[in-house]
């Protein structure tokens, strides 16, 4: 008679039979750097997450590295917004400054930058918009031009990986070509390849001060009802030269994650997003969930489902927990 329970009898037997192991190297820590703060400012909907000044972000990056983390993902909040998102590609923009500060403190830390315009646009959309009466559209090709400028300026300031999160068509190919032309052939692209229009980005928009001032993002982010379309989106980004493909959000999209990993066999990332973080955090604050147990279970499940890289606001805590 088969007795599967035999291997569950003791901690040592369970360790021996375990299929999925978390490592500190799996995680990427998102950091928010703001031109408007001198001192860390808490984000109400994301307990434990802060907006930081450029100096603080370099210290935080250093502390992350000391914990054993190897990579951070940087988001910027500019002082001024405009209709051309000029802060996104300014040589002394906030992300560019932060990158230089981080690289001078920890040259070996992998720096990934979010390449998007929403934080820098006065209207909060991810691209250049045209308004026709009651409608607006985001102009794809005009937006791609600005994304290319942004990615180039990040690479010049020391980004190891640029991560376009806007969902415009053709941006991965355009960024790849421009990087190669300017001698940044060693800069990688992590593309938010299957990014769904999701209710779970709500808290992030408070953190990044980027809620759209009108309309929503459904004309450029994906319909959460579609899986085949997600595979087509990923295929395009792979063809255009993405080195890493990402699925976002995480838990409600594990079927997509699994299929992307199985089909493309590329390094695959998943973004466990702000709303997913806030859900667990609020339950923990009420005493309904044990934080450590819940988070370890979520992260193990994401890795089991195919994630090679997990972007999570718990990266620091995970580094500590995995050490114990």
Within 164-183, which residues bind ligand PBG (CB under 6 A)?
165
- The site string for ligand PBG over 261-280 (x = CB under 6 A, - otherwise) reads ------------xx------
Catalytic annotation, residues:
195, 248
Residue located via tokens 């030269």: 241
Distance CA 287, CA 188 (A): 42
Cβ of residue 7: shortest distance to ligand PBG, in angstroms?
37
3-state DSSP: the chain helix, strand, coil percent, rounded to 5?
A: 45, 20, 35
Cβ within 8 Å of residue 289, ≥6 positions away: 280, 283
Per-residue contact string for residues 225-264; x = within reach of ligand PBG by CB under 6 A: ----------------------------------------
Stretch that binds ligand PBG, among 20-28, 81-89, 98-106, 111-119 (CB under 6 A): 111-119
| Strand, coil or helix: 62 | helix
* Between 29 and 118, CB nearer to ligand PBG: 118
- Give which of 135, 144, 26 is closest to 85, Cα–Cα: 144
Q: Which residue has the tokens 């309309």?
A: 215
DSSP conformation class of 214:
S
Token readout for 181 is 């032309």
Residue number, 53 or 165, with CB nearest to ligand PBG: 165
CB atoms under 10 Å from CB of 198, counted, come to: 20
C-alpha angle 321/34/121, rounded to 5°?
A: 120
Nearest CB to ligand PBG, comparing residues 105 and 251: 251
Looking at 114, 160, 237, 240, which residue binds ligand PBG (CB under 6 A)? Answer: 114
DSSP, res 72:
E
Q: Is 204 in the site for ligand PBG (CB under 6 A)?
A: yes
Determine if 34 is a binding residue for ligand PBG (CB under 6 A).
no
Q: Which of 69, 116, 193, 309 binds ligand PBG (CB under 6 A)?
A: 116
Tokens 């190891």 locate to: 160
Number of residues that bind ligand PBG (CB under 6 A): 10
Q: Considering beta carbons, is residue 57 or 106 the nearer one to ligand PBG?
A: 57
Q: What residues make contact with ligand PBG under the rule CB under 6 A?
A: 114, 116, 118, 165, 201, 204-205, 217, 273-274
């Amino acid at each position: 008679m088969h007795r599967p329970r035999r291997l569950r009898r003791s901690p040592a037997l369970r360790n021996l039979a375990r299929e999925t192991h978390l490592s500190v190297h799996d995680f990427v820590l998102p950091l928010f750097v703001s031109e408007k703060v001198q001192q860390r400012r808490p984000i109400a909907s994301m307990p434990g997450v802060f907006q930081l000044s450029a100096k603080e972000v370099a210290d935080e990056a250093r502390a992350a590295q000391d914990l054993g983390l190897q990579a951070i993902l940087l988001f910027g909040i500019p002082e001024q917004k405009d209709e051309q998102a000029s802060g996104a590609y300014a040589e002394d923009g906030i992300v560019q400054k932060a990158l230089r500060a981080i690289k001078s403190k920890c040259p070996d830390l992998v720096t990934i930058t979010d390449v998007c315009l929403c934080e820098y646009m006065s209207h909060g959309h991810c691209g250049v918009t045209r308004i026709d009466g009651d409608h607006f559209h985001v102009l794809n090709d005009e937006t791609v031009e600005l994304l290319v400028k942004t990615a180039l300026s990040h690479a010049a300031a020391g980004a190891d990986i640029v991560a376009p999160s806007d969902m415009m068509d053709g941006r991965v190919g355009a960024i790849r070509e421009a990087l190669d032309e300017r001698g940044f052939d060693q800069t990688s692209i992590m593309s938010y390849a299957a990014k769904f229009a999701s209710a779970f980005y709500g808290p992030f928009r408070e953190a990044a001060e980027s809620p759209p001032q009108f309309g929503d993002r459904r004309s450029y982010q994906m319909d959460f009802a579609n899986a085949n379309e997600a595979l087509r989106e990923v295929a395009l980004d792979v063809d255009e030269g993405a080195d890493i493909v990402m699925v976002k959000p995480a838990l409600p999209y594990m079927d997509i994650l699994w299929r992307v990993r199985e089909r493309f066999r590329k390094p695959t990332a998943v973004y466990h997003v702000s709303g997913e973080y806030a859900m667990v955090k609020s339950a923990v604050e009420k005493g309904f969930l044990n934080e450590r147990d819940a988070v370890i279970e979520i992260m193990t499940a994401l890795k089991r489902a195919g994630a090679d890289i997990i972007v999570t606001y718990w990266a620091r805590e995970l580094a500590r927990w995995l050490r114990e």
